[in-house]
Structure formats: C-alpha cells, structure tokens
C-alpha cells in the first residue's frame, strides 16, 4: 500500500492527500516491524512520538492537561510491564478493551495552586507527599467500601486498578490506600465524614474509621455548619459560573515548572547539548522509558550500593561474598525485566554476572571501607542559583574525599567525555563537567569536605580486559568555567530561551521537531565559536 500511494503521487496531489497517507502508512509499517524487536514500553514511546500524538499535545490549547494525561497513561503501562514483564502488545490491547468496556478509568491526579496554598489531591495523587495539615474528607462507607465487584465477571483487572472489596486482597488494598491517606500528615490530621447521604438517608463511616478508633480513647466531634453558610452554598450552586480569563497557556504551563526547577548536572548537560533536549527531557518531561543500557547500568549501580551498605551494617565491617553482589544485581534486573527484550535480558544478565565477578576479584582487597553511597545533596545555592545532585560514592580520608561515579559501557566511547574544554568541544565533555559540578556542590556543602579528585570507576573492562579508574583532577580554572556555564545556562532557562534547537543532524529532539513539523521557523546554525559564546 505504501508503494501504491507513492506511485499515485502526481502534481494533482502535491499539497497533501496521498502524500500524507503514504507518510502515515510508512510510520505504521515502521512501527509494525518493531513490535517483535523492541520492548513494549519502547514501542509505546515510539508510537507517542512518531504518530504525532506528542506533536498534537504540545501544539494544543490544553497542552498541560493533555501532557499529564499522556504521562499518566504511559506510567500505567510502565507499572503494568514492571509487574508483568512478559506483557505484550496483544495482551495490553485486550486489557485496554476490557477497561473501556467496563468503564474502568485510570486515576489522573491533578494538583492546582502553589506551595503556600491548599492542595486538593486524590489519595493516589498524594503518594510520596507530606503536609503539616491534612484534611481527609468523605470517609464514608459508601465512598470507600461500596466498590463494584468483578468477581463473577470471569476476568481479573490490571494489578494497578482497584476492583472490588469482595475479596480479602481488595480490602487490604483499600486499607493500604487509607493508610497512605492518613500518613500524609506531618503534625495535624483531620478526618471527616458526613452523617447523611445526598438523598437524606443516614450514612455510615468507613470501616477504617472504626478500626482506627478501636481500643483508643478518641472522641468524634459533631460539626454543624452555620445556616448562613448552607444558604450561601445553595445560592452559589444556582448562580452561573463566572466567565474566566486566563493568560496564554504557555506561561501558565511553563512558569510553575521553572519556579520548582533546581540546576543539576544532567539538566546542565542536556541544555549544552541542545536546548530542546533540556526542554523535552528535563523541563516538561515527555513520557519516555529507560533504555536497556540505562537499566543495565542502574542494576550495576544498585548492586554496588547495596554491597557497600551491607559491609557498613556488618559487625566487623566485612564485605559480603561475591554471590551476594550478583544476587542483588539479578534481583534488580528481574524487577525491571520490562526494559529488555528476551534476548537483551539474557545477554545483559550474562554480561552483568561476568563483569561483577571479575570486578569483585580485582578490587576486593583495595576498596576503601570509609564511604557513603548514593549521597544526595540539595539546598545548595551558588550565585543565587539552587543546585542539587546525587553522588554514587564518596570515599573519605579524614576531611579529604574522593567523589566516585560508576560507569558502564564501552570505555573507549567515554574518553572524549572525560576531557575538559578543547578545540573539538569548547564546552568540555559531559563527564568532566559532572566531576567539576560535584566539586562545586561539595565546596558549598555545610560539612566542609575537601574534594581531592573525582574518579570515574568503569565496571566493564577495556579492550585489554583490564578495569580502569580514571581520576579527574579539578583546577580552579575548571571550577570557574563550569560555574560560568551554570550561570549562563540558568539565565537562559529563566529567560525561556529553550525553544530553538541545536540543528545537528544526529540530534534526536531537533529531528523530532522537524519530522513532526513542529518548527515555526528555521534558523541558520551557529558556528562552534558562536555556540560556545552563547
């Protein structure tokens, strides 16, 4: 069909029609060819980007709301593939058909307001958040317990969707959800329920309220609204809604994200690569899944982090055996099986076990035991710019420290990234900048540690089958350079100077913009000197 649409192209159809059909068919053909060769999550990501869905979202009037919807849908698939790594496209489509037929909707938490205001959240949407005051309203049985049963329907719902309370598992799921709600409060928790339903019938409190009060001396305070408040509420419902006026969507969409943004080395590197890269990945965060290489690297990081923590937790500060290290790696890999195709998973499992055993044997008698791992730094301010970061490992020698970052992959591909500014790359490599950025963070850290050097520890051996640790000695000039880069990039971000891409042929996001016809203008590329000057 693709060939026929191309053959049918004549001057009569130069402006669209058949051309657009051919383009659509080509996209579908490409996606179909990838079904058996990529993970389900990667396939969905490509569908969102290549079919124009993201394009329509980002050019629409309600881009903020629609991007939230797409992101939550993508997160749902991400969670399902995590729970069921063998989930394929057919099973996913069947699941979505079932959910549509049964009118089962995914929760879409929407937060409005700001940090100094009142946050209205669903219980699902409040996960991971905490507040000084929490008001949990509507804790009646007809809200919490009376869910529709699907036990007799002959099917099971996705694990990420709560179905009924007819099963013990469902009761426990709702009990856990209620626990999430009440533990959002740091100091003050107010729980309320209504005495009557909307039809005037008496309403019962949730069974979880009864469980909460069981065996404790607690009083339920009956609250009566002032009659004037009730009257005003009834009048308000009879009035027509006021006509709203909003500023341009772009400002409302971007400004809250900028207000919460803190500079980190990933965002800095993304911007210096391409402002569009920063915009899509670091600022608005379009839905994307982890690649198999990234997930493999995370598995290595996680295993080594647990390895050192178990050493610190042991009575004699002894390192665990090699089997423990490999088991932790295997556990992480199986937990994130969805990021790999079957062959990729097999290959990476074999590679990980092999390199970790050799890595262990190489360094077991040399590792510094005075360390802290996965060290997160926040609330650092340099030149009025908030900075944050996470360091894989910090090794101590008194007040002197060595910052260590684990790397996986081909070390030959990393050597250019370790170099400072040069003729080929005036901004310096990403790894060099990462090392300097971490030193800047620790230089302004209240613990007053002295960073001797930053070390990149390559967990995979080089061509000679040797492991390498490459130290980056950081000079005052390096600190000045990266501090200036941070300042310049921060100013550009605050000025919203992230809508024009780099124009490089291999830039994913520039090509995404061109392919999906999102560009409103095309500018001549700057020379390397002009780009370095900003």
Q: What are phi and psi of 487, to 5 degrees?
A: -65, -45
What pTM was computed for the model? 0.64
Contacts of 505 (CB under 8 A, 6+ apart): 511
In eight-state DSSP terms, residue 109 is -
Cβ neighbours, 10 Å, residue 509: 22
- Give the pLDDT confidence score for residue 109 in this predicted structure: 64
User: Would you list the domain boundaries of the chain?
Assistant: 2-101, 124-238, 251-270+368-534, 289-366
Torsion sign, CA atoms 22, 24, 27, 28: negative
Q: Is the fold of 124-238 the same as that of 251-270+368-534?
A: no
More confident residue, 149 or 423: 423
In eight-state DSSP terms, residue 53 is H
Does the pLDDT at position 259 exceed 50?
A: yes
- For domain 251-270+368-534, which architecture applies? Alpha-Beta Complex (3.90)
Best mean pLDDT range from 81-85, 136-140, 292-296, 507-511 = 292-296
CA gap 501, 498 in Å, rounded = 7
The tokens describing 353, both together, are 């076990």
Each residue's pLDDT tens digit, 170-218: 677 788 888 888 888 888 888 888 887 766 778 888 888 877 777 665 5
Helices 292-313, 322-335: axis angle to 10 degrees equals: 140
CA gap 380, 373 in Å, rounded = 19
Does the pLDDT at position 147 exceed 60?
A: no
Helices 476-494, 430-443: axis angle to 10 degrees equals: 90
- Give the pLDDT confidence score for residue 10 in this predicted structure: 47
450-458 vs 400-407, strand pairing mode: parallel
Topology at the third CATH level for domain 124-238: Double Stranded RNA Binding Domain (3.30.160)
Each residue's pLDDT tens digit, 470-527: 999 999 999 999 999 999 999 999 998 888 888 887 888 887 877 766 766 666 655 4
Contacts of 529 (CB under 8 A, 6+ apart): 426
């Amino acid at each position: 069909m693709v060939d026929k649409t191309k053959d049918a192209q004549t001057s009569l159809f130069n402006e669209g029609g058949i051309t657009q059909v051919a383009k659509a068919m080509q996209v579908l053909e490409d996606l179909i060819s990838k079904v058996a060769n990529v993970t389900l999550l990667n396939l969905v990501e490509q569908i969102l980007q290549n079919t124009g869905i993201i394009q329509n979202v980002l050019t629409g009037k309600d881009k903020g709301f629609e991007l939230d919807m797409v992101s939550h849908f993508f997160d749902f698939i991400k969670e399902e593939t995590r729970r069921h790594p063998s989930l394929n496209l057919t099973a996913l489509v069947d699941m979505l058909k079932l959910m549509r037929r049964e009118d089962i909707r995914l929760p879409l938490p929407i937060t409005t307001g700001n940090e100094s205001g009142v946050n209205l959240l669903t219980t699902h949407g409040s996960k991971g958040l905490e507040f000084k005051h929490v008001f949990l309203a509507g804790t009646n049985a007809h809200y919490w317990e009376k869910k529709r049963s699907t036990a007799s329907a002959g099917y099971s719902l996705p694990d990420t969707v709560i179905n009924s309370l007819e099963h013990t598992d469902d009761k426990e799921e709702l009990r856990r959800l209620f626990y999430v709600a009440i533990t959002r409060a740091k100091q003050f928790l107010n729980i309320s329920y209504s005495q009557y339903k909307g039809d005037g019938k008496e309403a019962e409190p949730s069974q979880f309220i009864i469980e909460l009060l069981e065996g404790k001396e607690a009083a339920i305070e009956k609250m009566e609204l002032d009659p004037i408040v009730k009257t005003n509420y009834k009048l308000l419902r009879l009035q027509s809604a006021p006509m709203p006026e909003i500023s341009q969507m772009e400002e409302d969409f971007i400004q809250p994200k900028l207000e919460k943004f803190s500079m980190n080395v990933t965002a800095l590197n993304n911007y210096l690569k391409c402002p569009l890269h920063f915009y899509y990945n670091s600022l608005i965060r379009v839905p994307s899944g982890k690649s198999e290489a990234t997930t493999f690297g995370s598995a290595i990081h996680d295993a080594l982090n647990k390895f050192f923590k178990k050493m610190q937790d042991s009575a004699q500060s002894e390192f665990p055996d090699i089997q423990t290290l490999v088991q932790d790696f295997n556990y992480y890999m199986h937990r994130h099986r969805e990021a790999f195709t079957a062959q990729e998973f097999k290959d990476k499992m074999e590679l990980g076990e092999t390199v970790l055993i050799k890595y262990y044997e190489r360094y077991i008698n040399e590792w510094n035991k005075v360390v802290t791992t996965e060290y997160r730094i926040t609330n650092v301010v340099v030149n009025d710019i908030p900075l944050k970061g996470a360091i894989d490992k910090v090794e101590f020698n008194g007040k002197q420290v060595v910052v260590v970052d684990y790397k996986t992959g081909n070390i030959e591909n990393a050597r250019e990234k370790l170099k400072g500014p040069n003729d080929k790359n005036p901004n310096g490599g990403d790894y060099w900048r990462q090392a300097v950025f971490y030193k800047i963070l620790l230089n302004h850290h209240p613990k007053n540690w002295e960073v001797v050097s930053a070390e990149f520890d390559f967990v995979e051996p080089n061509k000679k089958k040797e492991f390498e640790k490459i130290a980056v000695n950081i000079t005052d000039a390096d600190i000045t350079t990266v501090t200036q880069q941070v300042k310049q990039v921060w100013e550009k971000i605050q000025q919203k100077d992230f809508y024009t891409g780099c124009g490089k042929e291999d830039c994913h996001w520039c090509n995404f913009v061109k392919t999906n016809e999102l560009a409103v203008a095309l500018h001549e590329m700057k020379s390397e000197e002009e780009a370095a000057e900003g």
